[in-house]
């Protein structure tokens, strides 16, 4: 597939641009990654909902819970776990390192291929 990630990518996020309680979508090798700054830390998950692939960045972040703008599914941004349907499949989460000023999100080379069949059947 074109745009597939062939090597690990690290996204650098300046936390001055991402206050606590905010989230931002970034692209990594053709993959949409959602970076969330919570009181518990910085976390990163797929930006696409596993239900019908709406962009979660257009939804709402409350604590560690991101809610999909389309049908209201909710995910835990720490793990990608489903907190509320209609989504049944978790979304992928990514390793994040951070200090007081920056966060670094690691998107592994296999991330793109693993997403190909992750959306729930409707």
Residues that bind ligand FES (CB under 6 A): 49, 51-52, 54, 68, 70-73, 86-87
Closest separation in Å from C-beta 26 to ligand FES: 19
For the four alpha carbons of 71, 52, 22 and 83, in that order, the dihedral sign comes to positive
Nearer to ligand FES, 31 or 51 (CB): 51
Closest separation in Å from C-beta 6 to ligand FES: 29
Helix (H) or strand (E) holding 106: strand 102-107
Helix (H) or strand (E) holding 113: helix 111-114
Nearer to ligand FES, 24 or 70 (CB): 70
Nearer to ligand FES, 89 or 98 (CB): 89
Closest separation in Å from C-beta 72 to ligand FES: 6
Closest separation in Å from C-beta 12 to ligand FES: 28
User: What is the three-class DSSP state of 60?
Assistant: strand
Nearer to ligand FES, 9 or 46 (CB): 46
Query: What strand order describes the sheet that includes 74-76?
Result: 60-62, 65-67, 74-76, 82-84
The distance of Cα 88 from the centroid of its chain, to the nearest Å, equals: 16
């Amino acid at each position: 597939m074109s745009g597939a990630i062939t090597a690990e990518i690290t996204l650098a996020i300046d936390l001055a641009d991402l206050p606590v309680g905010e989230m931002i979508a970034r692209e990594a090798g053709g993959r949409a990654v959602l970076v969330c700054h919570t009181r518990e830390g910085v976390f990163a998950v797929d930006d696409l909902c596993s239900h019908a692939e709406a962009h979660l960045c257009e939804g709402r972040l409350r604590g560690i819970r991101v809610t999909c703008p389309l049908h209201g599914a909710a995910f835990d941004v720490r793990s990608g776990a489903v907190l509320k349907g209609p989504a049944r499949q978790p979304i992928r989460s990514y390793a994040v390192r951070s200090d007081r000023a920056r966060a670094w999100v690691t998107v592994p080379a296999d991330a793109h291929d693993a997403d190909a069949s992750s959306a729930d059947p409707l």
